[in-house]
A and B are shown apart, each in its own frame.
Chain A
Amino acid sequence: MSLFNQIVPTLTRSFTRRDQSNGTVPQAEYTLKPAYELKENTDAWTLVVQLPGVAREGLEFTAEDNQVTLRAQRAWKRPDGWTALHRESVDAPYELVLEHEQNVDVEKIQAELKEGVLRVTLPKSEALKPRKIAVN
């Protein structure tokens, strides 16, 4: 069974414009979809997301009925007086939205952030786990 049938990555989220009307002038904000890896076993999905530069304070992980959302701000800001000579990374916040078919046990999600790598365990809800049926 392909896991992409159950947790479908949203394809067009990278650098999407979002309008933030938190003032007089709406500001467009770009987000970057981080590199991630999704693995499945019988009990749970394991999501590993690469978030270089993100500290725990800047991380926001939300689980809803049919999707999990990750928003992460970089902890580091360029100090005054530093001039950028060459850039390959961007300062945009990370955003990752994964949809699922309500088969994740939202209450038991566990997440750990370590040195810029986030590991999330998304346990499958009981209904989805293989069940042995005794034959009489």
Chain B
Amino acid sequence: MNRIIRYSQPINGSLFPLFSARRACAGYDAADRVLESAFADFGAFASEPRFPVDLYEDKENAYVRAALPGVARDDINVEIANGQLSLSASRKNGEETVKFSRSVALPEGAQADKVNATYENGMLTVTLPKQPEVQPRKINLSVN
């Protein structure tokens, strides 16, 4: 793999457990499914501080997409410090305020000052431009 961008895995403890469980085991039995569905029904809001994050890249940029439905734009914070991209958000759920946060290791060569974030349909997209690749140097050898 000669990928220029390298991500470390997001913090494991904050993965959305239901998603990973569902994707990991395709052949779980009916009892598991009922149990899981029951948890999804009753515990969905309780387990919400973990929000799922997707990482993409293309030639020019790296992208982080986070599912943060129903959050006001002002309550979303995107910060870069110590090579980490930190996403945090808060949502008022009735009386109480729920806070979420995730951190993603910045890809090498990301230009921290040119980061751009958009929020649409409850999805946050952070665009991290890559450093323009260093042009390969051509060395002319004069052969005697």
Contact = CB atoms under 8 A, between A and B. Distances in A.
Interface of A: 9, 11-15, 33, 35-37, 50-55, 75-76, 78-79, 81-90, 114-117
Given A12-B33, A85-B5, 14 more contacts: A14-B33, A35-B48, A37-B45, A54-B122, A75-B121, A82-B63, A86-B9, A87-B54, A88-B20, A90-B19, A115-B69, A115-B70, A115-B121, A117-B69
B69 A50 contact: yes
B57 A83 contact: yes
Contacts of B10: 86, 88
Interface stretch (B35-43, B79-87, B132-140): B35-43
B47 to A, nearest CB: 9
A76 B71 CA distance: 18
Interface residues of B, number: 41
B45 to A, nearest CB: 5
Contact of A116 (B54, B59, B123): B123
Contacts of A79: 58
A37 B44 contact: yes
Contacts, number: 109
A89 B69 contact: no
A33 B37 contact: yes
A76 B66 CA distance: 13
B63 A11 contact: no
Contact of A51 (B15, B37, B69): B69
Interface string B61-73: 0110101111100
